[in-house]
Amino acid sequence: MADLLLEILALAGFFALSFAAAAVGTRFTVAALGTWYAALRKPSWTPSGRAIGTVWTVLYALMAIAAWLVWREAGLAWLPLSLFVLQLVLNAAWSWLFFGRRDLKGALAEIVVLWVAILATAVSFWMVSPPAGLLLVPYLAWVAFAGNLNRVLLRMNPG
């Protein structure tokens, strides 16, 4: 019974950590959506705000489950879980750069670093728990898509 309680608390902790990063990013995003972001020229393939929110919700949940699987397999595995926290910080930092500072060029450079951090996290997770590594693949793909959108937005809105 104590083991089950510990597993539930750990899972809840990883969800709290993941969604704390989401909350930080959302703080900057929401403030800019109706004004600055709405005024940007965008490609026709830009997803709706609702679609973006739904995708991010699923991705943050997958991140939490992946980290929990690593914890279940290896405990407080220093390298994989440190990389996990690093990519969460970089994730929130992108929102701050893009929406908070409105720095499309800086956000583009940062999202490349974020993508590499996610890849490193996925590989380190895979080495501990292959399912945990696989759970980060959609996140890696979405950030690649977001990076491309960031690049196109920068090109379409150079000022």
Band the pLDDT of 101: cuts 50, 70, 90.
very high
Band the pLDDT of 58: cuts 50, 70, 90.
very high
Q: Residue 1: helix, strand or coil by DSSP?
A: coil
What is the domain partition of the chain in residue ranges? 2-156
Band the pLDDT of 34: cuts 50, 70, 90.
confident
Dist. CA 137–CA 2, nearest whole Å: 32
Higher pLDDT among residues 158 and 45, named by residue: 45
pLDDT of amino acid 123: 98
Q: What is the pTM of this model?
A: 0.94
Dist. CA 21–CA 86, nearest whole Å: 11
* CATH number of the domain located at residue range(s) 2-156 in this protein: 1.20.1260.100
Mean of pLDDT over the chain = 95
